[in-house]
Amino acid sequence: MSWYEIFPLVSTSFILISGILVAIGWRLIILKKREAHEKVMIAAAIAASLFFIIYVSRTIFIGNTTFNGPDSLKTVYLIFLLFHIVLATVAAVFGITTLTLAFRKKFAKHRKVGRTTATIWFATVITGITVYVLLYLMYPGGHTKPVIQAIFG
Say which CATH number the domain at 17 has: 1.20.120.80
Of 4-18, 31-45, 112-126, the poorest mean pLDDT is in 4-18
Q: How confident is the model at residue 148 (pLDDT cuts 50, 70, 90)?
A: confident
Dist. CA 97–CA 88, nearest whole Å: 14
Contact between 25 and 114 under an 8 Å Cβ cutoff? The reply is no
Helix runs in 2-146, H state only: 3-30, 34-61, 71-103, 107-132
Q: What pLDDT is stored for residue 3 in this prediction?
A: 72
Q: How confident is the model at residue 58 (pLDDT cuts 50, 70, 90)?
A: confident
Residue 121, domain extent: 3-152
Q: What is the largest CA-CA distance in the chain?
A: 55
Which residues lie across from 65 on neighbouring strands?
Answer: 143
Dist. CA 85–CA 144, nearest whole Å: 18
Q: What pLDDT is stored for residue 104 in this prediction?
A: 97
Average pLDDT score over residue span 39-43 = 98
Give the count of domains, the chain. 1
Contact between 68 and 142 under an 8 Å Cβ cutoff? The reply is yes
pLDDT above 90 for 11: yes
Cβ neighbors of 96 (< 8 A, separation 6 or more) are none
pLDDT above 70 for 57: yes
Q: How confident is the model at residue 59 (pLDDT cuts 50, 70, 90)?
A: confident
Q: How confident is the model at residue 153 (pLDDT cuts 50, 70, 90)?
A: low
What's at 105, amino acid-wise?
K
Mean of all residue pLDDT scores within the chain: 93
Return phi, psi of residue 25, to 5°: -60, -40
Model-level pTM? Answer: 0.90
